[in-house]
Amino acid sequence: MRVSTDGRLLKGEQTRNAILSRAADIASAEGLEGLSIGRLATELGISKSGVFTHFGSKEELQLATVRKAVELYREHVIEPALAVPQGLGRVRVLLDAWQRYQREPVFPGGCFFHSTMAEFDARPGRVRDAIASSQRDWRDFMERCLREARDRGEIDASADVPQLAFELDAVCRTGSAHALLHDDPTLYDRAARAMSTRLAAVTTSG
Amino acid sequence: MRVSTDGRLLKGEQTRNAILSRAADIASAEGLEGLSIGRLATELGISKSGVFTHFGSKEELQLATVRKAVELYREHVIEPALAVPQGLGRVRVLLDAWQRYQREPVFPGGCFFHSTMAEFDARPGRVRDAIASSQRDWRDFMERCLREARDRGEIDASADVPQLAFELDAVCRTGSAHALLHDDPTLYDRAARAMSTRLAAVTTSG
DNA sequence: AAAATGAACGAACGATCGTACAATTATCTA
DNA sequence: TAGATAATTGTACGATCGTTCGTTCATTTT
C-alpha cells in the first residue's frame, strides 16, 4: 500500500474509492450495465465528468468495480479462513464466513459475483474475463482448503475435491439467490444444511 | 388455443409472437433491462412503434417475455416428464430433459430464468414477482415428481423432498452457469454427476 | 514567485432510450 | 360499396446514456 505524501493524489484516491464502493453496491443490485456514470455522480454529489475522468471509459469503471468487489470478497470470506490453521477447521471457517457474507448486506443486492456472473455469462469482453478469472480464483482457493483437510486425513482420501467444491459452491449461491428473490431467509438455512451434510459425508469419523 | 378467423388479428398475433421469441433470446443473454424496443424493431425489420403498441409499455413487454419463456420452458422440460408415468422414471426424464434444455441453445444466453432471476432478485416490481412465481411453480413441480416417486416406494420414505429438490436445482443451474462463463461444457457433466449421485443416494435399492 | 500538476467542473456532442399521437394501410363487417 | 376495425407506420418529445473538451482551482514543485 503506497501512501502518497501529495495531498492531491490522496484526495483523488479517496474519491475514487468512494465511487467504487458505491459502484459495487449498485452493480450488485442493478448489474454492471445498470451502473451509470450519471447516477454515480448524482448520488455522490460530484460531477459526471468528475466521475468519468477517474476511469476514462465505462468498461474501465466496470473493471475497477470488479476489482473492488474482489477486494471486499477477500476481506470478508478469504481472510477469516487464512487466519486459522489449515485443515477441516479452516474449511468450516471458510464456509461460515461465506454464509455470513451472503446474509449480511456486504452488498445490498446480494452477492456481487452471482449477479454479475449471470449478467456477463454470454457477453464476451474484458469484463467477462475478469469475472471468470475471479471465479476461478475462488474455486481454486476452495479446492486448496479442502485438499489441505484431506492431506491431514480429516476428509476421506477418496473424496473428489473439485466435485465437492463445485457442489458446495452451487448450494450456497443458489440458496442466497432464492432467499433474496423470495425474500425468505430460511432458504439460507436450507443451503447451510446442504453444505454441512455434504461436508459431514466426507469427513473421516475419527 | 383460440384460432381467430380474422386475418388481421392473426397477423397481429404472429408478429407479437415473433417479437416475444426474439425478446426471450435477447433477454437470456443481455437481461430484461438490456432488452430494448428499438433494437427489437431493427432486428425484426418493423417499426419501433409497431413493437411498442403491442405491449404499451416496456414493463408489459418484459412481463410478456417472461410468460413466453415459461411457455418454452414447459415445452422443453415439463412436457417430456408429463409424457411418462409417475415415479422415479418421470424424475429421470425430467432431469434429463432439463439438462438437455440447458445444453441445447433453447436460449442463446443460457437459461432465461437463471439470467433474469439474478437480474431481478433485488429489484421489486411486477417483473420480479412474475419471475419469482415461475420459480415457485418449477420448484413445486419438481417436488411433486419426487413425491410421486417416494409414494411409490422408489425413493426412501425418509428423504427430505424439498431439500432434495433444492439441491438438484442448485447443481444443475450452477453447472450451466459455469459452463457458459468458462466456455467449458465439461461443467455440464459435473452437474450431471452431482445430480445422479444425489438421486442414487435416496433411491431404494430394490 | 513562477511553473507545473492533478482533481473536479460545466457545457455540449450524438446516440439511444421509452413513450405519445396522429396518419396510413389492410382487412373484415354491414 | 361504405364504414368500422386493427395492425402498423412516421414523427416527435424529453430524458438519459457515454464521451469530449476547455476551464477552474488548489496543491506541489522548481
pLDDT of residue B145: 98
Buried-state track B19-44, b at ≥16 Cβ within 10 A, e below 16: bbebbbbbbbbbbbbbbbbebbbeeb
Q: Judge whether B106 and B72 are in contact, CB under 8 Å.
A: yes
Within 13 Å, how many C-alpha atoms sit on residue B190's CB side?
A: 24
Average pLDDT over residues B15-37: 97
Q: Which amino acid is present at A106?
A: V
- Confidence grade of residue B125 (pLDDT, cut at 50, 70, 90): very high
Question: Do the chains contact at B136 and A182, CB–CB below 8 Å?
Answer: yes
Average pLDDT over residues B153-172: 98
Q: Judge whether B66 and B116 are in contact, CB under 8 Å.
A: yes
Q: Give me the residues of chain A with pLDDT under 70, please.
A: 1-4, 206
pTM assigned to the model: 0.94
Average pLDDT of chain B is: 95
> Is the Cβ atom of B187 within 7 Å of strand C at any atom?
no
Residues of B in contact with A167 (CB under 8 A): 171, 194
Closest CA to B69 of B99, B114, B125, B100: B114
Nucleotide in closest CA–C1' contact with A61:
D18
For residue B172, pLDDT over 80 is answered with: yes
Q: How far apart are CA A55 and CA A63, in angstroms?
A: 9
Residue in the structure block whose three cell numbers are 419426487: B146
Nucleotide in closest CA–C1' contact with B37:
C18
pLDDT of residue A3: 61
Give the residue on B whose Cα is nearest the Cα of A28.
B122
For residue B1, pLDDT over 50 is answered with: no
- Confidence grade of residue B6 (pLDDT, cut at 50, 70, 90): confident
Bases of chain C with protein Cβ within 7 A: 5-12, 16-22, 26-29
Give the residue on B whose Cα is nearest the Cα of A190.
B163
CA distances from B194 to A140, A170, B55, B188 (A): 19, 10, 42, 10
Q: How far is B153 from chain A (nearest CA, A)?
A: 23
Residue in the structure block whose three cell numbers are 443473454: B29
| Å between CA of A46 and C1' of D20 | 18
pLDDT of residue A205: 74
| Å between CA of A11 and C1' of C7 | 8
pLDDT of residue A105: 84
For residue B3, pLDDT over 80 is answered with: no
Helix (H) or strand (E) holding A50: helix A48-52
CATH assignment, B59-200: 1.10.357.10
Residues of A (17-46) placing their beta carbon closer than 7 angstroms to any atom of strand C are 46
For residue B7, pLDDT over 80 is answered with: no
Among the ranges given (B1-5, B47-51, B195-199), the one the predictor scored with the smallest mean pLDDT: B1-5
At residue A23, the 3 state secondary structure works out as helix
Q: Judge whether A148 and A86 are in contact, CB under 8 Å.
A: yes
Give the residue on A whose Cα is nearest the Cα of B123.
A29
pLDDT of residue B108: 92
- Confidence grade of residue B205 (pLDDT, cut at 50, 70, 90): confident
B182 contacts chain A (CB < 8 A): yes
pLDDT of residue A206: 56
- Give me the phi and psi of B175, to 5 degrees please: -60, -45
Closest CA to A91 of A49, A151, A7: A151
Smallest Cβ–Cβ distance between B194 and the set A122, A163, A191 belongs to A163
CA angle B156, B162, B166 (to 5 degrees): 110
pLDDT, tens digit, 9 for 90 and up, residues B64-95 = 999 999 999 999 999 999 999 999 999 999 99
pLDDT of residue B206: 56
Q: How far apart are CA A2 and CA B176, in angstroms?
A: 41
pLDDT of residue A7: 76
B169 contacts chain A (CB < 8 A): yes
CA distances from B9 to B3, B21, B44, B52 (A): 10, 18, 19, 17
In this complex, how many residue pairs, one in chain A and one in chain B, have their CB atoms less than 8 Å apart?
A: 124
pLDDT of residue B4: 67
Q: How far is B55 from chain A (nearest CA, A)?
A: 23
Q: Judge whether A165 and A172 are in contact, CB under 8 Å.
A: no
| Domain spans, chain B | 59-200
Helix, strand and coil percent figures for chain B, each rounded to 5:
75, 0, 25
